[in-house]
Every structure is written in structure tokens, then in C-alpha cells.
Amino acid sequence: MRNGKRIYVSAFKAWLVEQALKPEVSVAGLALRHGVNANQLRSWMKLEHWQSSPHTLLPVTVVADARPAEVVATTNARQPETVMEIEVGGTVIRLRGPVDTEQLKAVLAVVRA
């Protein structure tokens, strides 16, 4: 257009978003290769109607450690701190050490909303 704006075909946008949602794909690199601003591509990715598969949470079961307490204490002394990462819809939740399941459920409920 004369004002410098570009018009992209919906099929092209959908295809580009599908490619960008694949694991290990650089959004900036993909945008650059196809002549699209990376911020524009990221905004298309946020639109619900372009996303091919909705994010779903998987059920998690917390199982208590069945080993005797003294074995757990000596084993934990040698291991680095336990870190768990959960990614939900672009939000990363990082958990360190023991996890309170009720607090985790509350945090996940807020992120899903």
C-alpha cells in the first residue's frame, strides 16, 4: 500500500503461525525469512483463531517418596536443588524445592484463566 503497510493473505498468516508454533523454531528467524516483522508474527500467534491446537493441562499425580527418611536425607545432601518448569500458554512457572500442591493448583488456575 502507499502508506507502507502490507496486506497478508489469511492462508499465509495461518501457515506462518503453524510453522512458528513448532518446537525449536526461531520466531524471529522465521519472520525474517518470510519478510514479516517478528512482532507482527507474535501478535498473530496470540490470536486464538490462528492456533491449531488449544493448550491443555495434563493431570499430575504427586507420589510421596517410599524410601526411609535417613536415606532421603543423605541422598538430598548430594543432589542439587530440584527445579520443575511448567509452561502454560507462553507463561513459564518455575518451582524450586518442595511444592505445596494447593498453592500450585491455585497458580495454575490463575494462569489458565
Contact present, 34 and 16 (Cβ < 8 Å): yes
What does the pLDDT read at residue 7? 84
What does the pLDDT read at residue 38? 93
Q: What is the mean pLDDT of each run of 10 residues along the chain (113 residues)?
A: 82 88 90 92 79 66 63 53 74 77 79 70
What does the pLDDT read at residue 11? 86
Would you state the cell numbers that stand for residue 76, as one nine-digit string? 538430598
What does the pLDDT read at residue 36? 92
pTM over 0.75: no
Residues with Cβ within 8 Å of 6's Cβ and at least 6 positions away in sequence, in order, are: none
